[in-house]
Amino acid sequence: MYDVSVIRNDFPILSRQVNGRPLVYLDNAATSQKPQSMIDALVNYYSGYNSNVHRGVHTLSMEATDAYEEARQKIATFINAPSPDNLIFVRNTSEAINLVEYSWAAANLKKGDRVVATEMEHHSNLVPWQHAVAKAEAELKLMKMAEDYSLDLSDLDELLTPQTKLVAFTQMSNVLGTITPAKEIIAAAHRVGALALVDAAQSVPHMPIDVQDLDCDFLAFSGHKMGGPMGIGVLYVKREVLEEMEPFLRGGEMVLEVTYENASWADLPMRFEAGTPSVADSIGLGAAIDYLTTLGMDNIRQHEVKLTSYAIERFKEIEEISTYGPGDMSIRGGVMSFTMGNVHPHDIGQVLDQAGVAIRTGHHCAMPLVRSRLHLPATARASFYLYNTEAEVDSLIDGLKTTLRFFGDANTRRA
């Protein structure tokens, strides 16, 4: 049974106070909190078998190497990758996408080609493609956000021309919570011979993901948003694509044989992991995945659907609030972007913080979406995870009511 009150005990930070109130952590889209088992895995590594991997014959090095590769196996199982060799350890989603830009797009994008993304992208899945198309003299086109905050697929056929080489899109918007029809988009990309990259930074932590079922060519996510440590992320790449890719970073660990003049590359995926990797963090991510697997990704998703539906209902009590995201929970994750009258999101965030409630305010690294599509300078965003409760949503609503009272008729100030 999914018992949040028990689950919360696994997260030491959740028992701390902020400004004299119990912490209500609702900034999970930015980063998640960490279960004790993950923290223990890091401590055990450093206190028990810290060593460099792959190069040593001594016991510690073998233990570290085994644990490191075991973590890769856990991740492969978690997203149903055919093999752990499909996975490259990186620092985060941003680095994963940059790796694809430098190792794949630089060699495959030609003048006149096209990359398709969406209006909902995080800067991480937009800026690299702006750079790639500028270098290649290719073009970047965007799938639009529909009125109901879903992704508009109506002009997909026009967007996906034979010149399209890559479709790179988010599976869950970190601003709107919108879950995009990934399978459909990937199939459409393949029909025109394009590859598909999924920015799964917000989806992998919150719902079951199967890369073989999706049939994506690349999928990127960050460990820190799913209970894992900061500084570790994953890029999944299909085998046949990976085999054709040039190394991203060159140096130690990624080579087979080196002379003074030349080098040949190590096997996959080591070829893409130059230098000493984040061994502890990879092992930590493995522990986080164990934790998530024990809870069950379906259960986590269900919990968040229930909680978000509850939040949507409670938000309706405050007339001044506008929310931005699909009403249909089957295409929405636990992200609630909102504004409240003319009270600036900064001020909302400040008053809430004083009440111990942590939310995020600003453009959420999706400036074009917030400014040009929502036509807002900023929004406030509450985002949920597996340990949040209805009582915490109540604290948020109380805090918002206080904020409104506090700013009083500032709310009726010039538009």
Partner 1 sequence: MQTPDGLDDLYQDIILDHYRSPRNQGVLEYPHLHGEGFNPFCGDQVDLTLTLSGDGRIDGVGFLGQGCSISQASGSMLSDQLKGKTIDEAEEFVRTFKGIMQGSDVSQEQEEELGEIAALQGVKQFPVRIKCALLSWTTLQDAINEYRKTVS
Ligand X SMILES: Cc1ncc(COP(=O)(O)O)c(C=O)c1O
- What's the closest the beta carbon of residue 355 comes to partner 1, in angstroms? 5
Residues 374-413 that bind partner 1 (CB under 8 A): 376-378, 398-399, 401-402, 405-410, 413
> Residue 313 contacts by C-beta under 8 Å, 6 or more apart in sequence?
none
Whose CA is closest to 367, among 123, 118, 146, 116?
A: 123
**Among 38-46, 196-204, 248-256, 387-395, the segment contacting ligand X (CB under 6 A):** 196-204
The torsion angles phi and psi of 182, rounded to 5 degrees, stand at -60, -45
Residues 78-117 that bind ligand X (CB under 6 A): 92-94
Rounded least distance, CB 96 to ligand X, Å? 8
Choosing from 350, 372, 390, 391, the residue that interacts with partner 1 (CB under 8 A) is 350
Does the protein bind ligand X through residue 170 (CB under 6 A)? yes
Which of 354, 358, 368, 373 binds partner 1 (CB under 8 A)? It is: 354
- The listed partner (partner 1, ligand X, none) that binds 280, CB under 5 to 8 Å by sort, is none
Q: To the nearest whole angstrom, how small is the minimum distance from the Cβ of residue 172 to partner 1?
A: 23
Buried b or exposed e, range 186-209, using 16+ CB within 10 angstroms:
bebbbebebbbbbbbbbbbbbbbb
Token pair listed for 145: 């956000």
Of 10, 101, 199, 273, the one binding ligand X (CB under 6 A) is 199
**Residue 365 known to be catalytic:** yes
Q: From the candidates 343, 365, 378, 404, which is the catalytic residue?
A: 365
Amino acid occupying residue 22:
P
**DSSP helix/strand/coil, 379:** strand
Which option in partner 1, ligand X, none does residue 371 bind, with CB closer than 5 to 8 A by kind? Answer: partner 1
Kind plus residue range of the DSSP H or E element containing 391: helix 390-407
Between helices 297-315 and 279-295, what is the axis angle to 10°?
80
Count of residues binding ligand X (CB under 6 A)?
14
Nearest to 7 by CA among 305, 205, 291, 225: 291
Residue 131 near residue 138 (C-beta atoms within 8 A): no
For the annotated catalytic residues, the residue numbers are: 365
Binding site for partner 1 (CB under 8 A): 19-21, 344-347, 350-351, 354-355, 361-363, 367, 371, 376-378, 398-399, 401-402, 405-410, 413
